[in-house]
Amino acid sequence: MATHTIVAIVGSLRKESFSLKIANALARLAPASLKLDVTILHGLSFFNQDLEAAPPADWLSFREKLQKSNGVLFVTPEYNRSIPGVLKNAIDVGSRPFGKSSFLGKPIGIVSNSPGPLGGVSAAMNLKQLLPGIVGPIMGQPEAYLNAVGDAFDDKGQLIKESLQKVLQQYIDAFAAFIELHNK
């Protein structure tokens, strides 16, 4: 079985973000067929169409990483009933130039999260609205809207909440099968 490289894009800049901890937990739980490249967006400059004639090096590097991958996994919190601006910027950078989206054809997974009761469901739904047309197939089931993640990790960022570990394991196993199906 081949090993597939997945760009796991973290939709939060916060050093201790739950999204980063979840992405790292998914990387540890992933079967041997997946290698998650956990990608934070600190160094990605703002998209500006005026720069497209001579794109900044950080855009080119991000686009190349996406192009070389076998899929993309978005791990994001919810900000004001939507995705964080940094994640929208990454999607804008990766989906350009027009007609040459670096996401095109890439199988996609979405994991949203919140310390509150709704699990970032609005952020996930927002992604499902804006991604068609610039990406490949989006995994529909199982869905992952992770709520009450505030006590799921220890002070070293290790996953300690058994119920969440089970959900993440089910998700990453299903995502591995989805990736395999779409990378034949």
pLDDT in tens, 79-92: 999 999 999 999 99
56-68 pLDDT, tens digit per residue, is 999 999 999 999 9
Question: What's the pLDDT score for residue 1?
Answer: 63
Percent of the chain scoring above 90 in pLDDT: 94
Q: CA–CA separation, 160 vs 163, rounded Å?
A: 9
- The whole-number pLDDT of residue 50 equals 96
**Tens digits of residue pLDDT in 134-160:** 999 999 999 999 999 999 999 999 999
Measured CA to CA, the distance from residue 172 to residue 95 in angstroms comes to 25
Rounded Cα distance between 139 and 28, Å, is 20
pLDDT confidence of residue 14: 95
> Residue 15: exposed, middle, or buried by beta-carbon count in 10 A (0-12, 13-18, 19+)?
exposed
Residues in the chain where the model's pLDDT stays below 70: 1
**Measured on CA atoms in the order 93, 98, 101, 104, is the torsion positive or negative?**
positive
Distance CA 181, CA 70 (A): 11
All domains of the chain in start order, with CATH? 4-46+57-182 (3.40.50.360)
What is the separation of C-alpha 137 from the centre of its chain, rounded to a whole number of angstroms?
A: 14
